[in-house]
Amino acid sequence: MTIKAAIFGASGYAGGELLRLLLDHPKAEPVAVISRSQAGQAVSNVHAHLSRLTDLTFVSELPRGADEPEVIFLAGAHGYASEVAPALLDTGIPVVDLSADFRLKDPVAFEKFYGPPTPAFARREEFVYGLPELFREQIASSRAVASPGCFATASILALAPLWKKNLVADAAPVAVFATEATVRVIAKEGLLANVRAGRPRSSPTASRATATSRRSRSRSRPSDLPPPGGSSSRRTPRRSCAASSRPRWCR
């Protein structure tokens, strides 16, 4: 059995890549691609690389009836999710936001890194941070997920084993340098990971990835983090999403 999925903001790069992944996933069935600017156009006219994979056409609204999705992805630019998410959350359909609109909970931090919060920011507590390596159980039981960015994912997962072993103090600063080819992660006073040298593309103290890294550290107690290096007797077994209390989309 497949899960019907819809993508809002599907005409952009992220939306196209997401559609490609869903088309190739045995458990996913993309039923709608929503784009205000490309409504009525064939997906292949915008994403030529998908021409042999789908005959879907962009639509302007969420379909109802037989084609109503069971999960909705938001793949628009920053600010787009804030416009469309509230009404979609009210439908009861699970929402996964690929942007940064709901990653942070602190309005002061949000304004520092992204600008003034919109009224939709009031719905932020409904979203869990979508990093399954650390928050699998919360994701499985939630109906709203804020996907992490690539640099934040790399830095958080690099630091998680150190947090678990209490090798980094809670008050230690975390800075993320985004270069053209790698991520540098600095914690405490020393360089923890330096995959490849390069000129930083963002300020170490004003990086958006830094903000989400700090938030993940603050929400992850050492005992809650998965152990480094694979399985362990202390690791919490993965539970099935088939329980009636969990949405079917997380299976």
Q: List pLDDT tens digits, range 120-129.
A: 999 999 999 9
Question: With bands split at pLDDT 50, 70 and 90, how would you rate the model's confidence at 219?
Answer: low
List residues with catalytic annotation: 150
Q: Say yes or no to pLDDT of 229 above 50.
A: no
At the fourth CATH level, the homologous superfamily of domain 3-148+241-250 is NAD(P)-binding Rossmann-like Domain (3.40.50.720)
pTM exceeds 0.85: no
Domain boundaries defined on the chain: 3-148+241-250, 150-224
Instruction: Summarize pLDDT for 231-249 with one digit per residue, the tens.
Output: 333 333 434 444 445 555 5
Distance CA 47, CA 184 (A): 33
